[in-house]
Amino acid sequence: MNKVTVKINGEEDYIVNIGSDLLKDAGSIISEVHAPCRVAYITDFTVGAHYTATVVDSLKDAGFEVFIFAFPAGESSKNMETYEKILEFLADNEITRSDLIVELGGGVVGDLAGFAAATYMRGIDYVQIPTSLLAMVDSSVGGKTSIDLESGKNLCGAFHQPISVICSVDTLETLEKKYFDDGVAEIIKYGMLGNEKILKILHSCVENHDNLYFALKPFLSEIVEESISTKLNFVKSDVYDNGKRQFLNLGHTIGHAIEHASRYAIPHGHAVAVGMCSIARAGEKMNITEEGTANNVTALIRACGLPTSTIISPVDLYNSALSDKKRRGGEISLVIPVKFGECEIKKFKIDELKNILTLGVK
Ligand code: GLY
């Protein structure tokens, strides 16, 4: 098992445990950081059907008393209604501030359970057990928790770090292909932000693969560790997302607009993949991005089986982007690649975004 220590502002905060077949040890891993207590175990019906018995048995063996809450899988559950049900469940089961939430699932479960942990009784401890590639390499680490509002994605949330993260890469075996590819988009993002090891692995795997999951399988623990380490370089000195952390938004402004405009029919990573291609195309036309970068990014994204453009019009994307939480008054910050491996953050007037979206189309 590999361990990445998350240090926030130089202080040791929590450990991300990465390896295979870790779910049966979840109870003992968690008991290293929390005394036996009542545990609200939160999952969705799909992933829960595969792994709940293993995790719950392991928690019970380690002396925890477990209460299970499950809800329908998917972004459409990441709303006020499910959030409220979770809070009532916590209260009904007499979860107190010395107790614990343990969540198992992808980004939706992690964001929801994390937000419940951040707000229930003004904050209780929680553990993330991500089971999607996207949640392993991104959302389970760094403490962003949220739910969506009608007006946009992740508009209601809080920063709240977990006390432990357990990434058991064997759980990716049961992940639907489109959700695996979602995580690959975030991994490509870390390559574009400068992680050459990730790019090398990806390039070697996409060259001759029929199935990207099987090609990447021997490298999964390494890729998850590299991704988290890269993410932490941007998060450790800017937890509250006012500076360096914003680099992690590469592809996300257009990506979130695509998700919102498609009413979440286009999944997060697919939308971010299009967002990265679009901003590289627009960046070249604005003479910010080195010529050829857009072609290189697009080629890698296409080779990974992800989309590189959208049929949603720039006007519809613009209207969706107006409610983006990265907007500050009349301005919005965009992360633009300078070249492969290097990006910069530039501020634009919100109405300039319409033109940038048009430049990014093709
Ligand atoms: N997903 C981007 C961040 O955690 O800041």
- Per-residue HEC secondary structure of 184-222 comes to HHHHHHHHHCCCHHHHHHHHHHHHCCCCHHHHHHHHHHH
Q: Which residue has the tokens 């693969």?
A: 209
- Residue owning the nearest CA to atom 3 of ligand 1: 248
Atom of ligand 1 nearest to the CA of 246: 5
Q: Which residue has the tokens 């941007």?
A: 234
Continuous segment of H or E residues that includes residue 118: helix 107-119
DSSP 139-162: ITSS-EEEEEETTEEEEEEEE---
259 CA → ligand 1 middle, Å? 16
Nearest C-alpha neighbor of 356 from the set 329, 341, 335, 326? 335
- pLDDT > 70: what percent of the chain? 100
Q: What's the whole-number average pLDDT of the chain?
A: 95
Nearest C-alpha neighbor of 32 from the set 1, 68, 69? 1
b vs e for 241-254, b when ≥16 Cβ sit within 10 Å of the residue's Cβ? beeebbbbbbbbbb
Q: How confident is the model at residue 347, as a pLDDT?
A: 93
Choose which residue among 187, 245, 345 to substitute to test ligand 1 binding: the one with the highest number of ligand atoms within 8 A of its C-beta: 245
State the CATH class of domain 2-173.
alpha beta
Q: How confident is the model at residue 122, as a pLDDT?
A: 96
Q: How confident is the model at residue 327, as a pLDDT?
A: 79
Cα-based angle 146, 78, 72 (whole degrees, multiple of 5): 145
| Cα–Cα distance, 170 to 114 (Å, whole number) | 23
| Cα–Cα distance, 25 to 195 (Å, whole number) | 31
Please state, as a whole number, how many other Cβ atoms lie within 10 Å of the Cβ of residue 102.
28
What average pLDDT does the segment 239-266 reach?
Answer: 94
- Residue owning the nearest CA to atom 2 of ligand 1: 248
| Contact (Cβ atoms closer than 8 angstroms) between residue 134 and residue 88 | no
Longest CA span, the chain: 60
Q: How confident is the model at residue 324, as a pLDDT?
A: 77
With a Cβ cut-off of 6 Å, ligand 1 is lined by 138, 142, 144, 241, 245, 248
CA distances for 117 relative to 29, 59, 91, 160, 164, angstroms: 19, 18, 12, 8, 13
> For the chain, which residues make up each domain, given as ranges?
2-173, 177-360
Inform me whether the pLDDT recorded for 101 exceeds 90: yes
Inform me whether the pLDDT recorded for 208 exceeds 80: no
Residue 146 φ then ψ, to 5°: -170, 170
What average pLDDT does the segment 33-42 reach?
Answer: 98
First to last CA, the chain: 44
Fold (topology level) of 177-360: Dehydroquinate synthase-like, alpha domain (1.20.1090)
Q: How far is C-alpha 282 from the chain's CA centre?
A: 25
130-171 pLDDT, tens digit each: 999 999 999 999 999 999 998 888 999 999 999 999 999 999
| Cα–Cα distance, 5 to 164 (Å, whole number) | 10
Q: How confident is the model at residue 219, as a pLDDT?
A: 96
What average pLDDT does the segment 41-59 reach?
Answer: 98
231 CA → ligand 1 middle, Å? 8
Q: Of the ranges 2-16, 52-66, 154-168, which one carries the lowest mean pLDDT score?
A: 2-16
Name 145's Cβ contacts closer than 8 Å, sequence gap at least 6: 110, 111, 112, 114, 115, 117, 118, 157, 158, 159, 160
- Residue 134 DSSP code: H
Inform me whether the pLDDT recorded for 312 exceeds 80: yes
Residue 160 φ then ψ, to 5°: -155, 110
What average pLDDT does the segment 343-362 reach?
Answer: 94
Beta bridge partners, 16, equal 4, 165
| Contact (Cβ atoms closer than 8 angstroms) between residue 44 and residue 77 | yes
Task: Answer whether 2-173 and 177-360 agree in fold.
Answer: no
Q: How confident is the model at residue 330, as a pLDDT?
A: 87
Q: How confident is the model at residue 157, as a pLDDT?
A: 97
Tell me the three state secondary structure of residue 253: helix
Choose which residue among 115, 165, 248 to substitute to test ligand 1 binding: the one with the highest number of ligand atoms within 8 A of its C-beta: 248
Residue 8 φ then ψ, to 5°: -105, 125
Q: How confident is the model at residue 137, as a pLDDT?
A: 98
| Cα–Cα distance, 178 to 222 (Å, whole number) | 21
- Residue 66 DSSP code: E
Q: How confident is the model at residue 288, as a pLDDT?
A: 97
